[in-house]
Amino acid sequence: MARFAPLSLFGLCLGACSGTGSYTILVPPNQVAAPVRDLAVARDGKRLAMAKALGAQPEHASEAWELGVWSTDEGKMDFSRAPGEVTSAAFSPDGDMLAFAAGDGLWFIDMNGNRLLGALGSSDGLSPFLRMGQLRRVRFMAAGPSALACGSDGVIAHRSSDNLQRVWLGKPECTALDVSRDGQGVALVFGLRDEHNLAEVRYGETSALISQLRGHQDTVIDVCFAGHGQVATASRDNTIRVWQAKSGQSLRVIPIPPLVTHLACSPSGHVLASTHSNDPTIHLWDADRGQSLGVLRGHDAAITALAISPDGSALYSGAQDGSIFMWSLPR
């Protein structure tokens, strides 16, 4: 079984302050300038996975990496090469497994030995367990564990107990998904031709429909689970909506700047973070009152990825120039 070779170039860590929050630079901008596509924090908060879209740039091979893991305890990064441009990554609930989408394949890493695996429970070496369209986002559920990935051909699920490989829903063009903290609820965004503003909440591996979130006037871009059984969505209609997950009732509408690209929810549900096209800043929102909590400034390039730590104390952001910051958040 193949092991990833660590790269040690990016050991630099700097500190600075912004107007509304302090930040630490985990990865500075670099020559490769590969955009950060996704960030994922392990449930225990001890590891941060960083997914990049690199492309072939052999002249900068010493800086070339597609998937990195940062140790928050040790304050250092152990980088690992990955097969192809990585678009998304997620830790299993116990932190022992890392799933990531590279190209049109879903792969797994055994974090206890940094071993690259194919399908969970399989013996087919380095073959991804399934190839289907462009995969945009990967998340784990509680049971199994079961990994979900959404992409241009719909949603796929993989359960380790029986090595299940299947299309989970018959709907095309899944553009975003998130899983609740208990690992049971799944919030999805579909880019259907006749319903560009549709998001749904479903239950577990049965994919039973719980609610449909209807009310946005334009395409839903991102979705995340907030606290108190709520879901937040961000749309091109320049609003964030907070919903009751079980009923689909819209609880509040928050006006935001145009061209939203990403949305992140704190575990408590009190703080929301949004990013916007060609904008190097991060906007923070009070989810309960629908008011602005300020703007985080520090990046020099547009933000392309967001993740919030399990305890809600830190926000991680990745940018178009490859930089990755860690910010302190209000509780």
Q: What is the pLDDT of residues 52-65, one digit of tens each?
A: 876 544 444 445 56
pLDDT above 90: percentage of residues in the chain: 38
Residue with tokens 């108190």: 228
Q: How far apart are the first and last CA of the chain?
A: 43
Q: How far apart are CA 227 and CA 262, in angstroms?
A: 18
Q: How far apart are CA 156 and CA 115, in angstroms?
A: 23
Q: 99: number of CA atoms within 13 Å, CB side?
A: 29
Q: How far apart are CA 33 and CA 117, in angstroms?
A: 28
| pLDDT confidence of residue 278 | 92
Task: Output 118 or 210, whichever has higher pLDDT.
Answer: 210
Q: How far apart are CA 40 and CA 69, in angstroms?
A: 9
Integer angstrom CA distances of residue 152 from 149, 155, 168:
10, 8, 13
Of 111, 77, 76, give the one whose Cα is nearest residue 92.
111
Neighbours of 139 (CB within 10 A): 21
Query: Would you state the structure tokens that stand for residue 196, as one six-digit string?
Result: 């560009």
Query: Would you state the structure tokens that stand for residue 200, as one six-digit string?
Result: 């749904």
Neighbours of 194 (CB within 10 A): 5
Of 151, 308, 101, 158, give the one whose Cα is nearest residue 225.
308
Phi then psi for 60, rounded to 5 degrees? -120, 35
Q: How far apart are CA 111 and CA 98, in angstroms?
A: 7
**Whether the predicted pLDDT of 38 surpasses 90:** yes
Q: How far apart are CA 26 and CA 170, in angstroms?
A: 40
Quick one: average pLDDT of 24-30?
Answer: 85
Read off the pLDDT of residues 96-147 as tens digits, 9 standing for 90 and up: 888 888 766 778 888 887 777 765 444 444 444 455 557 788 898 876 667 8
Whole-structure pTM value: 0.86
> Exposed/middle/buried for 124, CB within 10 Å: 0-12, 13-18, 19+?
exposed
Integer angstrom CA distances of residue 297 from 279, 282, 301:
10, 7, 11
| pLDDT confidence of residue 175 | 86
Phi then psi for 63, rounded to 5 degrees? -105, 5
